[in-house]
Amino acid sequence: MEIILGSASPRRKELLKQMGFDFSILISDVEEIYDPATPPENVASVLAKLKAQSLKNKLTPGQLLICCDTTVILNNEVLGKPKSKNEATETLRSLSGKRHEVISAVCMIYGNKTIEFKDSTSIEFKTLKEGEIDFYIAEYQPFDKAGSYGIQEWIGHIGIFKIEGSYTNVMGLPTQLLYKEIQKLKSV
């Protein structure tokens, strides 16, 4: 089984490598658009499937395509990737002192099979100081991250008060579930 990761995310690449898998990269250029009526808890699944569908015709027999998407949800609203420093600041202010959900969804295609699953992790930030938010944005430039932060970075180390669920899910890849699903495919 040859694994293809359908993602440009350095964090997903790192996690898949740490899981012991050899893989190549195939990046989707599909525009990540979804119906605004989509329930927030389903947005990551819709986008992961959209990416996988855009790449499936490039697969050859024996290749396993893994596509992912991660959403951050606060008060039933999806917080996307920030487009500016101001947007990142506002997002981190909104997360400060509150609990939010991070959902990572995976869509895998192997032959004529499509396997979809997702995981949810609850995160609670301490109350962040303005200086902490400013420092993080200036030093880490979190413009490629849903919710304007990376749990594995400085803000995660100093700001995460509580986590319930998978840590790797928050990084963008629910590794425990992914491993289980790959093992199931290998045993078929």
DSSP helix/strand/coil, 80? coil
Residue 77's contacts (CB-CB under 8 Å, 6 or more residues apart) are 40
User: Quick check: 38 and 46 in contact, CB under 8 A?
Assistant: yes
Encode 144-158 in three state secondary structure.
CCHHHCCCCCHHHHH
Catalytic residue among 29, 35, 69, 119: 69
**Burial annotation 134-158 (CB, 10 A radius, 16+ → b, else e):** eebbeebebeebbbbbbbbbebbee
Note if 144 is an active site residue.
Answer: no
CA 26/CA 17 separation, integer angstroms: 15
DSSP helix/strand/coil, 142? coil
Q: Which residues are catalytic?
A: 69
